[in-house]
Amino acid sequence: MKKISLTLGLVVALVISAAAQVTIGDVTLPGSIKAGNTNLVLNGGGTRVKFFMDIYVAGLYLPAKNGNADAIVKANEAQAVRLQITSGMATSDRMADAVKEGFEKSTGGKVAPIQAKVDRFLKLFKQEAIVKTNVFELVYEPNVGTKVYKNGKLLDTIDGMDFKTALFGIWLGNDPVEPKLKTGMLGQAK
């Protein structure tokens, strides 16, 4: 009887785990990731398209599901964005340029107060070549900052809620890089 209960419990856990993950195109976003000691759940995801090409798949991870973009951007709580590169067109220079443009949009052109942090962040894209299948995780932890990982390796931690707000605003702000991606990350895709 114990063996049956254990087996049934394992099957239920696997089904729940598999149901929590989402596949977008050829990319499967995990159902959860960790930010320090906080377990974050996949809120939603989508594809960044530019010039009719899929560039990356992005997933938003939060402590609990939330569809309010403004509240998410302003929340001083553990959160993460996971980006998986899906195109060979996403070079280091192109990603840095696109992110720079995203910060301009996110801040309404008022990047100056966080320019040094943005420059530091942009340099991370140029440390080594970006290739298809690379995974970036941008993990914000309160009182720590935004940890930037590439393929599981910590590249840097950039402090400040001001930076986190601008960074998450790239996808979730009033003028996001792609409205359809914003909708997907908020879990509202149709």
Q: Provide the whole-model pTM.
A: 0.86
pLDDT tens for 28-50 read 999 999 999 999 999 999 888 77
Helix 92-106, helix 161-172: angle, nearest 10: 100
pLDDT at 17 exceeding the cut of 70: no
Q: For residues 166 and 152, give the distance between their C-alpha atoms in angstroms, rounded to a whole number.
A: 23
Hey, where are the domains in the chain? Answer: 23-185
Residue 21's Cβ-side half-sphere holds a number of Cα atoms within 13 Å equal to 12
| Residue 71 per-residue DSSP state | H
Residue tagged 């003028």 (tokens): 175
Task: Classify 3 as helix, strand or coil.
Answer: helix
State phi, psi for 46 to the nearest 5 degrees.
Answer: -170, -175
Q: Is 151 left (phi over 0), alpha (psi -120 to 50) or beta?
A: left
Given this model, what pLDDT does residue 148 score?
A: 97
E-assigned strands of the chain? 22-24, 27-29, 32-35, 38-50, 53-62, 79-85, 135-141, 145-150, 153-158
Could you say which architecture CATH assigns to the domain 23-185? Answer: 3-Layer(bba) Sandwich (3.50)
pLDDT digits (tens, 9 = 90+) for 71-98: 999 999 999 999 999 987 778 888 888 8
Contact 43, 73 (CB under 8 A): no
- Quote the distance between the C-alpha of residue 145 and its chain's center: 15
